[in-house]
A and B are shown apart, each in its own frame.
Chain A
Amino acid sequence: MPEKSGAEILIDTLIEQGVDTVFGYPGGAVLPIYDALFQQTKIRHVLVRHEAGAAHAAEGYARSTGKPGVVLVTSGPGATNAVTGIADAFMDSIPLIVLTGQVATNLIGSDAFQEADTIGITRHCSKHNYLVKDPAELATVVREAFTIATKGRPGPVVIDIPKNVQVATAATDVKRLARTRFTFAGEADYTEINRAVELIANAKAPILYTGGGIINSGPAASEALRELAELTGAPVTSTLMGLGAYPASGEAWLGMLGMHGTYEANMAMNQCDVMVCLGARFDDRVTGRLDAFSPDSIKIHVDIDRSSMNKTVRVDLPIVADVGTAMRQMIDVWKGRKYKKHPLDQWWSRIAGWRAVDCLSYPGSTQEIMPQYAIERLFEATKDKAPIITTEVGQHQMWAAQHFHFDAPNKWLTSGGLGTMGYGLPAAIGAQMGDPNALVIDIAGEASIQMNIQEMATATQYRLPVKVFILNNEWMGMVRQWQELTYESRYSESYSDSLPDFVALAEAYGWKGIRCDDPAKLDDAIAEMLAYDGPVMFDCRVHKTSNCFPMIPSGAAHTDMILSADQVSGTMDDEAKALV
């Protein structure tokens, strides 16, 4: 049997696993892998400008395509720079394979040049990690890593490969004993499904509370959700991560729930009698004050991860299963028993009352572009083009979630759990690599965009026509909003001083730059952005002091929403201040 180097074995196994795109940045400890990459044609390598960009780009690729994203970075700073993206993928359950170079095995622990304890650093922000000490083990480790990253609750897996292991050779037929005992939740127990269906069928005020698990489960899960909502007649709300699983144009849609969710979604969560949590995890942004969270409902929770059960909210019926499969089972049982859609007229009329509050309305202006208006116009201009939207983190992200509407899964890529500023541009690059013909727009803020702005060069190099739509209000808006609410408007360090000229910056990178500050000219400017066959940075100068409403303030219940700026109080007690 001929022998191959570790680097060659690695590339062969990646190809075998169906990898066609790798996001990376070369360096000393991965030179053998880069040399092996150079000598093959099946894997495209996308050269980012910072390793954080590689990890987020891989996340964007994974979220939009449903395939695992692959990252390749060097040891030491290469690996540590990628850590934020690994942690982000861990929080949002995104399948990533992160290949990191490491110093040679005989140098590990000697404080060698560009040595970092990558395994130690990533141990608790990855689903699993490996240090491979023998090239004979590489193929098995990589195969196992793909299984772990993609099965069950997805997540990032780190494979740390010392440089001498990349160079050393091994017979390619040597097999490390692969773990065979993996069990991943799949089908739900039918007793539990029957019980769930009975509860839903007998509910007078049910609600489907959906999350990113449905997106992760695949397109069939979104289909099942639509069918389940139709069969049961229950209203549907979603977390930030689950937007698009149920169409925003659907009749049962209440909008997003949680801290910046709609009034109707939060009130319905509070007042429902049966809550069906599907692939969501009762995050603190969703629940608000825990002891006042939906006090009178029976709670059913379908999640693939047992540790999500009863973590923050006690549930009555936990079902550990793949959410798509479980919904399909519920549909089968519902149909099998010939249940009829419950007349939920009273429930829907209460919901109509909450809807009438029109919580997403905002003061208009003919002088300035209101940020919400900018998102609305962007949505109107692009809704027929099935755009993929990425975001950074902050007010713009919440406005996008509120005012941009998604009818399909895998079109909304945002950093939910970790809340990583600088996510959107590289994620857009990754999504554009996954689908070169898609319209990909990063809705950004002027502060967030600067956190990974170097990736503009990556878009230029690969001729990726991504659009960056900056809601520029010259503030770290969400920080300022909290300072207004909690710290009597003491704006400590939240002003975006010394901003670059974004149009000039765009041109410096070979992009097109557009600036607009006039609501009357906004539609034309957006049309100009969309018509340009290349990357565009759009500096949308918006009203500077708008805040994002509705809002459940820190430590408050769903029923205590602030609907508009005039309801804002100046300070909070220490209990509320201590919450994130």
Chain B
Amino acid sequence: MHIKQELTERHVLTLTVDNEAGTLARIAGMFTSRGYNIDSLTVADISEDHTTSRITIVTKGPPPVIDQIIAQCERLIPVHKVTDLTEAGPHVERELALVKVSSVGDQRVEAMRLADIYRARVIDATINSFIFEITGGPEKIDTFVALMREVGLVEVGRTGIVGLMRGADAS
């Protein structure tokens, strides 16, 4: 007997939650305990009175599992609202990455040139290194990081994505 694998879809979920101790553990732990995937997760306080946070989770699963994930999130007491951006329609996704490269000579020039093409900003420089700051969709960042591997990539820090619905309405 072999373990069966199912076809999965990538979905971006945003959750509005109470900003209180344990909320993140409750949500992240629910994913673990029910065997759901988390590709990335970001969280930050978003309200003026610091009572509400917004969590963006990128997850993968077959459509019925995605539906269960949303229902299970909604069941948690501190969760006010769950939106499936992927399902809801046009939306924007952005991620920020810091990319450190160390190289000299032609490679250093090439790194700088590629950064310019990708509209990455230099936020730290030494004689033999740069840190680039780049924002964009996850694919753009993936591509940029892949290019940097060729020209002296040292390390990468990524935030995971945040997303909003396009248009005037709140998601």
Question: By the criterion CB–CB under 8 Å, are A310 and B72 in contact?
Answer: no
Question: By the criterion CB–CB under 8 Å, are A306 and B75 in contact?
Answer: yes
Which residues between 92 and 117 of chain B lie within 8 Å of chain A, taking CB atoms?
none
Task: Tell me the minimal C-beta distance from B27 to chain A in angstroms.
Answer: 10
Which residues between 95 and 141 of chain A lie within 8 Å of chain B, taking CB atoms?
119-120, 123-124, 127-129, 131
Question: By the criterion CB–CB under 8 Å, are B68 and A123 in contact?
Answer: no
Q: Which residues of A contact B26 (CB under 8 A)?
A: 123
- Inter-chain CA distance A575–B30, complex, in Å, is 27
Q: Which residues of A contact B30 (CB under 8 A)?
A: 124
> Is A374 at the interface (CB under 8 A from chain B)?
no
Residue of A nearest to B2 (CB): A574
Q: Which residues of B contact A309 (CB under 8 A)?
A: 71
Which residues between 37 and 69 of chain B lie within 8 Å of chain A, taking CB atoms?
64, 67-68
Given A310-B67, A575-B1: A305 touches B75 (CB 8 Å cut-off): yes
Kindly identify which residue among A120, A311, A578 contacts B25, using a CB–CB cutoff of 8 Å: A120
Interface string of B1-29 (1 = CB under 8 A from A): 10000000000000000100110011001
Question: By the criterion CB–CB under 8 Å, are B21 and A131 in contact?
Answer: yes
Task: Tell me the minimal C-beta distance from A522 to chain B in angstroms.
Answer: 46
> Is B74 at the interface (CB under 8 A from chain A)?
yes
> Is A338 at the interface (CB under 8 A from chain B)?
no
Q: Which residues of A contact B68 (CB under 8 A)?
A: 307, 310-311
Task: Tell me the minimal C-beta distance from A487 to chain B in angstroms.
Answer: 16
Interface string of A4-25 (1 = CB under 8 A from B): 0000000000000000000000
Q: Which residues of B contact A119 (CB under 8 A)?
A: 22
> Is A340 at the interface (CB under 8 A from chain B)?
no
Kindly identify which residue among B25, B67, B74 contacts A123, using a CB–CB cutoff of 8 Å: B25
Q: Which residues of A contact B72 (CB under 8 A)?
A: 307
> Is A181 at the interface (CB under 8 A from chain B)?
yes
Task: Tell me the minimal C-beta distance from B164 to chain A in angstroms.
Answer: 22
Residue of B nearest to A133 (CB): B21
- Inter-chain CA distance A573–B1, complex, in Å, is 9
Q: Which residues of B contact A124 (CB under 8 A)?
A: 29-30, 33
- Inter-chain CA distance A423–B77, complex, in Å, is 28
Task: Tell me the minimal C-beta distance from A164 to chain B in angstroms.
Answer: 17
- Inter-chain CA distance A179–B71, complex, in Å, is 20
> Is B119 at the interface (CB under 8 A from chain A)?
no
> Is A490 at the interface (CB under 8 A from chain B)?
no
- Inter-chain CA distance A120–B32, complex, in Å, is 13
Residue of B nearest to A307 (CB): B71
Question: By the criterion CB–CB under 8 Å, are A123 and B1 in contact?
Answer: no
**How many residues on chain B are close to A (CB under 8 Å)?**
18
Residue of A nearest to B72 (CB): A307
Q: Which residues of B contact A42 (CB under 8 A)?
A: none
- Inter-chain CA distance A119–B23, complex, in Å, is 12
> Is A314 at the interface (CB under 8 A from chain B)?
yes
Residue of A nearest to B74 (CB): A306
Q: Which residues of A contact B64 (CB under 8 A)?
A: 310, 314
- Inter-chain CA distance A148–B1, complex, in Å, is 43
Task: Tell me the minimal C-beta distance from A180 to chain B in angstroms.
Answer: 12
Question: By the criterion CB–CB under 8 Å, are A307 and B29 in contact?
Answer: no
Q: Which residues of A contact B25 (CB under 8 A)?
A: 120, 123
> Is B80 at the interface (CB under 8 A from chain A)?
yes
Residue of B nearest to A157 (CB): B77
Q: Which residues of A contact B77 (CB under 8 A)?
A: 127-128, 148, 179
Q: Which residues of A contact B80 (CB under 8 A)?
A: 181
Task: Tell me the minimal C-beta distance from A192 to chain B in angstroms.
Answer: 17
Which residues between 290 and 316 of chain A lie within 8 Å of chain B, taking CB atoms?
305-307, 309-311, 314
Q: Which residues of A contact B75 (CB under 8 A)?
A: 305-307
Task: Tell me the minimal C-beta distance from B49 to chain A in angstroms.
Answer: 10
Interface string of A397-438 (1 = CB under 8 A from B): 000000000000000000000000000000000000000000
Residue of A nearest to B26 (CB): A123
Question: By the criterion CB–CB under 8 Å, are A578 and B1 in contact?
Answer: yes
Residue of A nearest to B18 (CB): A179
Residue of A nearest to B67 (CB): A310
Given A148-B77, A574-B1, A575-B1: A123 touches B71 (CB 8 Å cut-off): no
Q: Which residues of A contact B33 (CB under 8 A)?
A: 124
Q: Which residues of A contact B1 (CB under 8 A)?
A: 573-575, 578
Task: Tell me the minimal C-beta distance from B79 to chain A in angstroms.
Answer: 11
Centre residue among A127, A305, A307 by max chain B CB count within 10 A: A307
Task: Tell me the minimal C-beta distance from B31 to chain A in angstroms.
Answer: 10
Residue of A nearest to B22 (CB): A119
Q: Which residues of B contact A179 (CB under 8 A)?
A: 18, 77
Residue of A nearest to B51 (CB): A177
Interface string of A61-72 (1 = CB under 8 A from B): 000000000000
- Inter-chain CA distance A124–B25, complex, in Å, is 10
Q: Which residues of B contact A181 (CB under 8 A)?
A: 80
Centre residue among A127, A129, A181, A306 by max chain B CB count within 10 A: A306
Interface string of A539-580 (1 = CB under 8 A from B): 000000000000000000000000000000000011100100
Which B residues contact A (CB, under 8 angstroms)? 1, 18, 21-22, 25-26, 29-30, 33, 64, 67-68, 71-72, 74-75, 77, 80
Other contacts beyond A123-B29, A310-B64: 9, CB < 8 A: A119-B22, A120-B25, A129-B22, A131-B21, A148-B77, A305-B75, A307-B68, A307-B74, A311-B68
9 pairs, A vs B, C-beta closer than 8 Å: A119-B22, A120-B25, A123-B26, A127-B77, A128-B77, A129-B22, A179-B77, A307-B74, A311-B68
- Top 6 A-B pairs, shortest CB-CB distance: A307-B71, A574-B1, A128-B77, A124-B33, A306-B71, A307-B72
